[in-house]
Amino acid sequence: MVIAGVDEAGRGSLVGPVVAAAVIMEEGYLLSYKEIKDSKCLSASQREKAFEYICNKATSVSVGVVSHEFIDRFNILNASLEAMKRAVFGLFIKPDLLLVDGIYKVPVSIPQECIKKGDRINKLISAASIVAKVYRDRIMKAYHNDYPVYNIAKHKGYPTKEHLELLKRFGPSPIHRLSYKSVREFYAH
């Protein structure tokens, strides 16, 4: 049976896309690398090393990216599910089962098991969480070059005190999610 782990990164960010990953990987490779765990429990350098390992050892890895415009139009839940769907459809092999982080099924006709806090308790979902997080962080670093006044490389778009102060000072950038209340309040039409 071919099983894919699926997770996303960037739901709580105020900036840029939401990114999902789907990973198919043999259990032996998952178990032999101790740093495959919830991406939030790893340092940036640990995530980068795990990302390289996963990409080199996985049977198939795919990423789905959904823009901030889509998020603003259809909401973050629908955008996250769309990103997951794109990630699943990008796999080289069609999985027989999806293990999905969270409580919402991906809108595909593949059998699924949704697991609350799955990125903490299932290594296949953890692998997907690492891929999604690293991929999205790389996008955020690129955005930092375009919009350096927001210091996106540091906070990755999440609503830190510094980010909210910069948002108040400069207003939203073209990549901020205008549908988010904490961004909307600084948006002058």
pLDDT in tens, 128-137: 999 999 999 9
Whole-angstrom distance, CA of residue 63 vs CA of residue 17: 12
For 3-137, CATH gives 3.30.420.10
Average pLDDT, whole number, for the chain? 95
Whether the Cβ atoms of residue 165 and residue 49 lie closer than 8 Å to each other: no
pLDDT score recorded for residue 185 = 82
Matching residue, tokens 């990987």: 25
pTM to 2 decimals?
A: 0.95
The predicted-structure confidence for 140-179, as pLDDT tens digits, reads as follows: 999 999 999 999 999 999 999 999 999 999 999 999 999 9
Whole-angstrom distance, CA of residue 171 vs CA of residue 178: 11
pLDDT score recorded for residue 188 = 57
pLDDT score recorded for residue 186 = 75
Question: In the chain, what percentage of residues exceed pLDDT 70?
Answer: 98
- Reported as a pLDDT band with limits 50, 70 and 90, residue 34 is confident
pLDDT score recorded for residue 189 = 45
- Reported as a pLDDT band with limits 50, 70 and 90, residue 187 is low
Rounded to an integer, the average pLDDT of 11-18 is 97
Q: List the structure tokens of 85.
A: 């769907």
The predicted-structure confidence for 40-78, as pLDDT tens digits, reads as follows: 899 999 999 999 999 999 999 999 999 999 999 999 999
Angle at 122 (CA atoms; ends 138, 16), nearest 5 degrees: 25
Whether the Cβ atoms of residue 108 and residue 93 lie closer than 8 Å to each other: no
The predicted-structure confidence for 98-148, as pLDDT tens digits, reads as follows: 999 999 999 999 999 999 999 999 999 999 999 999 999 999 999 999 999
